[in-house]
């Protein structure tokens, strides 16, 4: 099978997430990084591409030139996919342009700034038929997949409550005035969007709930806070959730939780069993049945679901981590692109990655969260209506 040629928008010098995408894409040897417009600053863009070994003729000063030039290439040389790792405000225009042009999209989260943009992307994507992935990378962990498969198999019974928390401490002080590139754009409404911490990490938390439980929100009640002096966007949030069918939930996301590094956790309580998963110790899944001792499932061990086993490369006890989970998304994306090329249907274990629909659900959630935070209504209706 030929490697998939991809270009990247964003992710140049000083960026974190771009390098991660490149490594994740490379891990299984399914992708080739062949083109890029790596910064909104044309000089920096070209310098970054040079550093990364991009050929001169495909190292573009901006994404618009990249789109034009790539479309001018014959199909067998042209990029098949674009990875979008810019600050949030550029996700939408870039994704729309490339998707319309028939290029598959791999877009970082949160998807865009508004549900309306998300719906526009859905329509564009439907028209052109491209694959569109949103990299909620935590869903790529083997034990998240096993959690999902246990819930879906009914092992937990009827889900009653879900608690998801995402705590970080890196914005506890005013990092944004200190030349910290990522802090700068994340607290800036023009680039980050309606939300701060909620967009950056809360969107992952929401996606994790939906991925594992399949529950659809009915109402929510949000309290957003900006503890940092002068901050215009939330750096802390606490949200009560109600789901279709009667389950309840809580979502906490904060970037002022000193000492918490990347502390994403989820607990699911069913009427037959509970489970707990923690991102900083990702290779374990705690399962608690009504009777009998607490059980600790470990990555790669027998007894896991087929999807969980597929997502693991190493024997139990040989930890796999963030990058490998990220790479699992790229494995699914590659499968989807190849299947599309070959005109064949995906098998049940193929194509396991968050989609544009997940991204749109996330935008709806973020909009409703902001609306609730500013409202006197206790329970804001928040059902997502897919188009």
Subset of 285-344 contacting a copy of itself (CB under 8 A): 286-298, 301-303, 313-324
Q: Which stretch binds a copy of itself (CB under 8 A): 66-74, 86-94, 347-355, 372-380?
A: 372-380
Which tokens in the block code for residue 166? 């995402």
Alpha-carbon span 188 to 197, nearest angstrom: 11
Q: Which stretch binds a copy of itself (CB under 8 A): 117-125, 126-134, 276-284, 340-348?
A: 276-284
DSSP 355: B
Q: Which stretch binds a copy of itself (CB under 8 A): 24-32, 67-75, 209-217, 349-357?
A: 24-32
Closer by beta carbon to a copy of itself, 87 or else 282: 282
Nearest CA among 299, 303, 305 for reference residue 318: 299
Size of site (CB under 8 A) for a copy of itself: 82
Q: Which stretch binds a copy of itself (CB under 8 A): 6-14, 37-45, 61-69, 370-378?
A: 370-378
Angle value at C-alpha 96, between 32 and 46, nearest 5 degrees: 50
* Residue 239 backbone dihedrals phi, psi, to 5 degrees: -135, 130
Does residue 84 touch a copy of itself according to CB under 8 A? no
Q: Which stretch binds a copy of itself (CB under 8 A): 87-95, 107-115, 119-127, 274-282?
A: 274-282
Which tokens in the block code for residue 53? 């070994």
Question: Position of tokens 């991809």?
Answer: 6
Closer by beta carbon to a copy of itself, 23 or else 344: 23
Sites for a copy of itself among residues 126-155 (CB under 8 A): none
**Which of 160, 191, 310, 340 touches a copy of itself (CB under 8 A)?**
160
Q: Least distance (Å) from a copy of itself to the CB of residue 69?
A: 24
Closer by beta carbon to a copy of itself, 73 or else 278: 278
**Which of 190, 232, 377, 387 touches a copy of itself (CB under 8 A)?**
377
Alpha-carbon span 172 to 308, nearest angstrom: 35
**Which of 40, 41, 128, 262 touches a copy of itself (CB under 8 A)?**
262
Residue 267 to residues 126, 166, 274, 334, Cα–Cα distance (Å): 35, 12, 7, 31
Q: Are strands 104-107 and 132-134 parallel, antiparallel or unpaired?
A: parallel
Nearest CA among 279, 281, 225 for reference residue 253: 225
Asked, as a colleague might, if the bond just before 110 is cis with ω within 30 of 0, I would say yes
CB atoms within 10 A of CB 279: 21
Closer by beta carbon to a copy of itself, 81 or else 239: 239
x/- binding map, residues 166-205, to a copy of itself, per CB under 8 A? --xxx-xx--------------------------------
Residue 2 to residues 24, 76, 77, 195, 288, Cα–Cα distance (Å): 18, 11, 12, 40, 44
Residue 125 to residues 90, 134, 379, Cα–Cα distance (Å): 17, 13, 33
Q: Least distance (Å) from a copy of itself to the CB of residue 17?
A: 10
**Which of 11, 196, 199, 270 touches a copy of itself (CB under 8 A)?**
270
Q: Least distance (Å) from a copy of itself to the CB of residue 118?
A: 27
Residue 252's SS3 state is strand
Burial pattern 132-145, b for ≥16 Cβ within 10 A else e, equals: bbbbbbbbbbbbbb
Sites for a copy of itself among residues 96-125 (CB under 8 A): none
Maximum alpha-carbon separation in the chain: 64
Sites for a copy of itself among residues 200-229 (CB under 8 A): 221, 223, 225, 227
Closer by beta carbon to a copy of itself, 100 or else 163: 163
Q: Which stretch binds a copy of itself (CB under 8 A): 16-24, 108-116, 200-208, 339-347?
A: 16-24
Closer by beta carbon to a copy of itself, 69 or else 240: 240
Alpha-carbon span 159 to 19, nearest angstrom: 38
Closer by beta carbon to a copy of itself, 44 or else 267: 267
Sites for a copy of itself among residues 235-254 (CB under 8 A): 236, 238, 240, 242, 248-250, 252, 254
Neighbouring-strand partners of residue 223: 238
**Which of 14, 29, 177, 214 touches a copy of itself (CB under 8 A)?**
29
């Amino acid at each position: 099978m030929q490697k998939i040629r991809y270009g990247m928008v964003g992710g140049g010098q000083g960026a974190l997430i771009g390098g991660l995408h490149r490594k994740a894409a490379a891990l299984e040897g399914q992708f080739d990084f062949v083109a890029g417009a790596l910064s909104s600053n044309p000089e920096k863009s070209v310098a970054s591409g040079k550093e990364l070994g991009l050929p001169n003729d495909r190292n573009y000063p901006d994404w618009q030139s990249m789109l034009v030039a790539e479309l001018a290439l014959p199909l067998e040389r042209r990029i098949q996919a674009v990875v979008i790792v810019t600050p949030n405000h550029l996700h939408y225009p870039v994704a729309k342009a490339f998707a319309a042009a028939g290029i598959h999209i791999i877009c970082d989260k949160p998807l865009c700034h508004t549900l309306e943009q998300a719906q526009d992307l859905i329509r564009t994507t439907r028209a052109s038929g491209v694959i569109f992935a949103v990299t909620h990378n935590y869903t790529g962990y083997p034990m998240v997949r096993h959690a999902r498969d246990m819930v879906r198999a009914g092992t937990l019974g009827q889900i009653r409550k879900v608690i998801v928390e995402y705590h970080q401490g890196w914005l506890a002080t005013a990092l944004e005035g200190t030349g910290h590139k990522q802090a700068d754009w994340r607290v800036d409404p023009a680039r980050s969007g309606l939300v701060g911490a909620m967009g950056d990490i809360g969107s992952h938390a929401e996606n994790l709930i939906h991925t594992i439980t399949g529950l659809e929100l009915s109402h929510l009640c949000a309290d957003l806070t900006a503890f940092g002096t002068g901050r215009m966007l939330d750096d802390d949030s606490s949200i009560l959730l109600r789901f279709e069918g009667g389950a309840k939930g809580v979502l906490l996301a904060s970037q002022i939780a000193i000492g918490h590094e990347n502390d994403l956790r989820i607990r699911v309580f069913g009427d037959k069993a509970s489970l707990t998963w923690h991102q900083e110790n990702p290779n374990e899944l705690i399962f608690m049945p009504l009777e009998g001792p607490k059980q600790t499932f470990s990555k790669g061990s027998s007894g896991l679901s087929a999807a969980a086993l597929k997502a693991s490369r190493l024997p139990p006890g040989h930890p796999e981590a963030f990058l490998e989970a990220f790479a699992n998304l790229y494995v699914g994306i590659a499968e989807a692109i190849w299947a599309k090329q070959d005109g064949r249907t995906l098998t049940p274990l193929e194509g396991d990655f968050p989609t544009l629909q997940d991204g749109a659900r996330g935008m709806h959630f973020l909009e409703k969260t902001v609306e609730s935070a500013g409202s006197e209504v206790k329970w804001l209706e928040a059902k997502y209506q897919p188009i």
